[in-house]
Structures are given as C-alpha cells and as structure tokens.
Amino acid sequence: MHPAFSVILLTTLIGVGQGLFLALFTAQSYALFDILPKQDGPTFYAAGSVIALAFLVAGLFASFFHLGHPERAWRSATKWRTSWLSREVIVLPAFMGTLLLYGLAHLTGWKPILVTLPSGLAVDATDVLGFIGWVLAFALFVCTAMIYACLKFLREWHSPLTVINYILLGGASGFTLATFFAACAAPTLTGFFGGWAVIITALGLIGRVASLLRNARLKPKSTLQTAIGIKHPRIAQKAMGFMGGSFNTREFFHGKTAALLRSVKWLFLLGAFALPIILLASGMAAASPPLLLLAFLVQYIGLMAERWFFFAQACHPQNLYYQSIG
C-alpha cells in the first residue's frame, strides 16, 4: 500500500496524545490510593492535558490533507454501525472533549465529590472525567487499529497484533513524553513514568517483532496463475492495460525497493524501541530532561518510520496485475 504522510501523522500524533493522557490519569489514580504523591497544584494535570490535546488537534488537522473533499468530512460519521472509520470519527472528538473538560476541571479546581466508596475513598469529578477519558482513549486505539485489522484481504494487517501494537506504541510514546514532562513539572513522578515507558516500549518491541515474524511467514493465496485461471508455471506480463499511472498504481503500491523496506524496518526497530530505552534509562539516571526529551523525539521519528513500514508492507491483491510490467 502507499503510505500517506497525512495518515502517518494522524495515527502517530493522536497516539502520543492518548498515551500522554493515559499516563496522567494513571498517576492520578495511583495518587488517589496513596501509592504516588498527590500533585496539589492545578497546573500539572492541566498543562499535561493541554499538551495531550495539542497532539490530538495536530493529528486531526493532518487527517484533513488526506481528504479529497474536506467539507464533506462530517459524512464519514454516518456509517457508525458498520464502519470502524466512522466510529473513530465519533470517538476522537468525544475523547478530545472529555480531555478538555478534564484539564479545565483541574485548572479551575472544580472537584466536587461525586461518589464515596465503602472504604471511605472520595471520588471527585476529575476522577470520573479521567475514567471516561480512559475508556474513550482505549476505544479510540481499537477503532483506529480496526480500520486496518478488519481488512481480510490485506493479510499483513488482518491480525489481533495490529490492535495490540497500536495500543502499545501509542502508550509507549505517551509515557515517554510524560517522563520528560514530569522531569520539568513534577520530578517525583519521573521515575514512575520512565519505568512504565521502558516497560511499554519493550512490550511494543515484542509485539512488533511478533507481527514481523508472522508477516514473513505469510504465503500469497493468489498468484498470476490463479488470478487468470491458467496453470502454466511461467507467465510473463507485458503490459498493465494502459500507458500511464492511475489511482490503482498510486494508492495501492509504494513503488519502493525491497532494499529500502529492509532499511526502514531496521531503522524503526532501532529508533522506536532500542534507542529510546537507552535514552530513557540514561536520562533518569542522570536526572537530565534534555536526554528525556531526546528519547521522545527519537522514538517519535522511529514510530513514523514504523507506521510508514506498516502501510508499505501490506500487499494489495490487485498488485498482481497493476505492479508487474514484464
């Protein structure tokens, strides 16, 4: 498939926003049970929410460059009963709205007690908003990943690993950014976020390698022989049916060499996983915010390469005809 740069930005940017919010709410949940120190000032969670929302808005803005008629974008939400894309279009603004309310509640100090648990634990409005955002964040991960995982004819994508990897890679980038943010705004949380960032990044590496190994073992169900109903062992295509390019040749094939794909694969394995783990460990050991920021930047570039490879690796069955000239 052809990797559209706008979709690469959309999926990676909103992944960072989702992951950062999950990191913030995880810290708040731990603090609720006195496992982590509470952040008494309103700025930590409010500022973190603004940063997460900025990534989500940037991702949403990038998505419009992939639309032929942006003014009709609202119509994409009308098929929510059958389309994962429609569900994503609905869940994304719902998550953004909840995140905005979550940040405003922290900023203004609006924390009325809504529920008191049998143990005497008081649950305020930010806890409830955070839980709703937590549900929507995971729902958004699932919707985004299922846009690709539901396509049975693209076998490289049609796997539970696609959903797992979207969740892990978004979580890894968000927790890595949270580690840098905490180093600047709440140093007592740096080790907590950094530890989880390393763990989730390592799990992401395992999940991504598993998908690479799975895809490497896939055998094509269709061949030139089965496509045209001729059993001769040697078939040479001499033309693709027209003189120039078309939508089929532009959108369903990347046009790059196998050597480039191998290079990108090793680039993202190094940039999205190995280097960030090293930089996170070094940054936490040295209490160095610049190293932690570098860890996030390197990881984000690596995730962009990973997402490019994700799209490019998928082989559309139509390429049996349109991408072989003979």
Q: What is the pLDDT at residue 40?
A: 72
Whether the pLDDT of residue 326 is over 50: the answer is no
- CB within 8 A of 84, min separation 6: which ones? 143, 146, 147, 150
Q: What CATH number does the domain containing 243 carry? A: 1.20.1630.10
More confident call, 13 vs 236: 13
188-202, 206-220, 232-246, 259-273: least confidently modelled range: 232-246
Residue 159 lies in a domain: yes
Report which residue type is found at 120: G
24-28, 258-262, 283-287, 291-295: least confidently modelled range: 258-262
Q: What is the DSSP string of 62-122?
A: HHGGG-S-GGGGGGGGTTTTT-HHHHHHHHHHHHHHHHHHHHHHHHHT---EEEE-TTS-E
Residue 230 lies in a domain: no
CA distance 323 to 3: 16
Q: What is the pLDDT at residue 243?
A: 62
CA distance 155 to 169: 21
Domain containing residue 18: 5-218+236-322
Residue 223 lies in a domain: no
Per residue in 248-263, pLDDT (tens digit) is 777 777 778 889 889 9
Residue 153 lies in a domain: yes
Residue 283 lies in a domain: yes
Residue 242 pLDDT level (bands cut at 50, 70, 90): low
- Taking the alpha carbons at both ends of the chain, their separation in whole angstroms is 20
Whether the pLDDT of residue 27 is over 90: the answer is yes
271 vs 114, 254, 256, CA distance in Å?
44, 22, 21
Whether the pLDDT of residue 114 is over 70: the answer is yes
To which H or E segment does residue 233 belong? none
Residue 229 lies in a domain: no
Residue 32 lies in a domain: yes
Residue 192 lies in a domain: yes
Backbone angles phi, psi at 114, to 5 degrees: -100, -35
The mean per-residue pLDDT over the stretch 156-172 comes to: 96
Q: What is the pLDDT at residue 324?
A: 53
What total of structural domains would you count in the chain?
1
**Cα dihedral across residues 118, 121, 126, 129: positive or negative:** negative
